[in-house]
Structure 1
Amino acid sequence: MLTSLVVGAVLMNALALALVLARGPAFGTRVYRPMLLNLALSVAPLVLLGVVALVWVLLLHEGWTAVGYVVLAVGAVVWLLLLPNAAYLITELNLSHRQPHERVPLWYDVLLVLVLAMSGVLNTVLNVFVVQLEWVLVTSGDDARALADRGSVALCVGILLLVGFGIYLGRDVRLNSWDVRHPSSLVRKVVRHVRQPGGLAGMVWFTLLTALFLGLMYLVVIGPVIRGLVLIEQAR
């Protein structure tokens, strides 16, 4: 099941990339480069997780335990900052890239943004599941039943709330992950936004509803995987 999930996510991202690249040549228009950037940013957190995990294992193998945990901590912070980019593709559903008198048929762009949104959802749930697995390995060893305990579930809920909040900051406040390099400016922009009429309410509702949507998708996609792992554990 896990292999099918990973292969499915890879193929969905490949299809999204193919549709974005084919859009220009197929209909005599320019390739919409922001979609390519958003797709690359969506994949980046999962790539980072793999790199950090590999470096951590190598450092532990060499006996550099302290350095390994520093790399793990720094990698976790950077990953959390990048993670909203994984699900940000769902905001492409507004079709804001279409221009007046667009040459591209509407059906093509509808299919394109749906594939982009699904790739973003799959990238997000995979990221959260990998971190959930790592959390369980650190706190409970290889007990698959710990994937469904309160601490593990709370971790997933907290991450998805932060993802929803991050998407809102990106779409409505127009912030990027790298804006944390200027924290004072970032805080001023957020404060200025929430002081606007309806700003705080919009932020809260968007965060909650987006987290709810992603949580339901997580339950649908990852739930059977967790159930399968628990059944395998019980059969031993």
Structure 2
Amino acid sequence: MLNSLVVGVLLMNLFAAALVVARAPVYRTRLYRPMLLNLALSVAPFVVLAVAVVVLLPLISRGAPPAVVWGSGIVLGVVWLLMLPNAGYLITELNLNHRREGERVPEWYDVLLVLVLAMSGVLTTVLNVFLVILAWVILRYGDTVAPLAGAEARAVEAVVLLLVAFGIYLGRHVRLNSWDVKHPTHLVRKIVRHLRTPGRLGDAIGFTLLGALFFGLMYLVVVGPVVQGLVELERLR
């Protein structure tokens, strides 16, 4: 089940990239590079997870002190969380603002393209969250997956998805990027200035809550059966 989920998400990302790249030569139009950039950034959380595996597994296998393992995990987790909204950000491509007037590309193609692009971002987001929750459960509870269906895991998932939704809002409406965290003072000032504008705070809260609810429902649909299957397999062993 987990293998099918991972392979399916990877294929969806490849499908999205193929549609973006094929659009230019097939319809003799420009290559819309921002889409490719956003798609590449959406995969960045997977890269962070791969780095985490390379760093943490040797530490655990060598019996490193728990403080070192957890400290390294927290640092990598923060980097991962900062990059994660880049995946969900792909849902904002649904506005079709890449089309020019008199575009040769059929509208049906671009509609399908942005749908696949958005779904690749959604699936990448939920898979990333699940993999991190799975790793956290293994590190915290050992060789058992039962806590995946517990209230603690649900609470962590909810917090992460709320942060993801807020990060997407900041990316689209405040035009912030993950690497802007290198200048925290400027970052905070820019966010505060934006939220003080009349009506913006309500927009931010509304988008964050509804966006998190959307991702939560997608998580339930996509990851829920996987969690249920893993817990059931463990119970039958």
Tell me which interval the TM-score lies in, with the shorter structure as reference length: over 0.9
The residue correspondences of 1:1-236 to structure 2 (distance < 5 A) are 1-65=1-65, 67-236=68-237
Matches of 1:181 and 1:55 in 2, distance apart?
23
Q: Is the 8 A contact 1:135 1:152 kept in 2?
A: no
Secondary structure (helix, strand or coil) at the match of 1:9 reads: helix
Secondary structure (helix, strand or coil) at the match of 2:138 reads: helix
Task: Report the Cα offset of residue 69 of structure 1.
Answer: 3.7
**Structure 1 stretches of 5 or more lacking a match?**
none
Matches of 1:62 and 1:231 in 2, distance apart?
32
Matches of 2:86 and 2:127 in 1, distance apart?
13
Deviates more, 1:212-221 or 1:46-55: 46-55
Q: Is the 8 A contact 1:55 1:68 kept in 2?
A: no
Matches of 1:10 and 1:43 in 2, distance apart?
9
Matches of 2:52 and 2:145 in 1, distance apart?
23
Task: Report the Cα offset of residue 233 of structure 1.
Answer: 1.0
Query: Alignment length, in residue pairs?
Result: 236
Matches of 1:7 and 1:44 in 2, distance apart?
17
Matches of 2:189 and 2:48 in 1, distance apart?
29
**Structure 2 stretches of 5 or more lacking a match?**
none
After the TM superposition, which parts of structure 1 deviate over 3 Å for at least 4 consecutive aligned residues? 62-70
TM (normalized to structure 2)? 0.96
Matches of 1:17 and 1:220 in 2, distance apart?
24
Letter in 2 for 1:185: H
Task: Report the Cα offset of residue 211 of structure 1.
Answer: 0.3
Letter in 1 for 2:144: D
Q: Is the 8 A contact 1:27 1:104 kept in 2?
A: yes
Task: Report the Cα offset of residue 101 of structure 1.
Answer: 1.4
Letter in 1 for 2:98: H
Task: Report the Cα offset of residue 141 of structure 1.
Answer: 1.7
Task: Report the Cα offset of residue 73 of structure 1.
Answer: 2.0
Matches of 1:157 and 1:211 in 2, distance apart?
8
Matches of 1:90 and 1:68 in 2, distance apart?
35
Matches of 1:13 and 1:160 in 2, distance apart?
20
Letter in 1 for 2:28: G
Say what the alpha-carbon RMSD is for the aligned residues: 1.2
How far does the alpha carbon of each residue in 1:144-192 deviate from its partner, in whole angstroms, 9 at most, with x for none? 2211111110000000000000000000111000111111111111111
Matches of 2:55 and 2:189 in 1, distance apart?
36
Secondary structure (helix, strand or coil) at the match of 1:78 reads: helix
Q: Is the 8 A contact 1:87 1:163 kept in 2?
A: yes
Letter in 1 for 2:37: L
Task: Report the Cα offset of residue 58 of structure 1.
Answer: 1.5
Matches of 1:132 and 1:69 in 2, distance apart?
14
TM (normalized to structure 1)? 0.96
